[in-house]
Amino acid sequence: MTTLLLVRHGMTAMTGPFLAGWTPGVHLDERGRAQVTALAARIAPLPLAAIVTSPLERCAETAEAIAAARATGEAAAEKIETDERFGEVRYGDWTGRPLKELAEEPLWRVVQAHPSAVKFPGENGESLAAAQHRAVTAVRDWNARIAAEHGPDARYAVCSHGDIIKAIVADALGLHLDQFQRIQADPASLTVIRYTETRPFVVRVNDTGGDITPLMPETPGESAGKDGLGPDDAVPGGGA
């Protein structure tokens, strides 16, 4: 159907020590800008039908770097579009607090072992299940739109956040949300999922430097030897 490139934003001053969440004004720092510049250059040859981003500044800046790296090339994408459904989990009263402090909260253990039961405290707190639902719904909507406008083999990028990316990957793998903590999504990492009518194929997870050549569209000659196989067929033995 379509191929989704999930990109986590680069590093910020809050990444690691604090739970940034929807804290306003959190921008990429020097490390983060270097990370997303390198990522953008690496994926610049890939044709993208769209670049979509969370509304938060750190993701928007990551999307801008991706767009800038391809602005003069043949693979130039359409303008950046914002979709709030790819925004960070709304952590409520946990937003902006040090992770070291949050690790002492009773809810922390539930987040680790039973995230499907978690709703973050406070008026604006969101459940992880609700966050996964909105993000996966957004993916399905964008898959349908991209396929309708650009064909079933189109690729598009979404710049989002660690927990959102992990939740989307868990859905693609058919994992219960309680297993999503087994998935890693580092800053400025690339995760790739190919969606078909039958199933998603998780192509890459947490790629921070791999060769993107296998992600390029196939030429007619490269499809030789695949006669009789549909785009949603899983090849026994793994294929070539």
| CATH classification number, 2-219, choose in 3.40.50.1240, 3.40.640.10, 3.40.50.720, 3.20.20.60 | 3.40.50.1240
Residues 6 or more apart whose CB falls under 8 angstroms from that of 46 comprise 5, 75, 155, 212, 215, 216
pTM higher than 0.75 for the full model? yes
What spatial distance separates the first Cα and last Cα of the chain, rounded to whole Å?
21
Per-residue pLDDT of the chain (240 residues; tens, 9 = 90+): 799 999 999 999 999 999 999 999 999 999 999 999 999 999 999 999 999 999 999 999 999 999 999 876 555 556 899 999 999 999 999 999 999 999 999 999 999 999 999 999 999 999 999 999 999 999 999 999 999 999 989 999 999 999 999 999 999 999 999 999 999 999 999 999 999 999 999 999 999 998 999 999 876 555 544 556 666 676 666 656
Residue 106: CB atoms within 10 Å: 6
Domain residue extents for the chain: 2-219
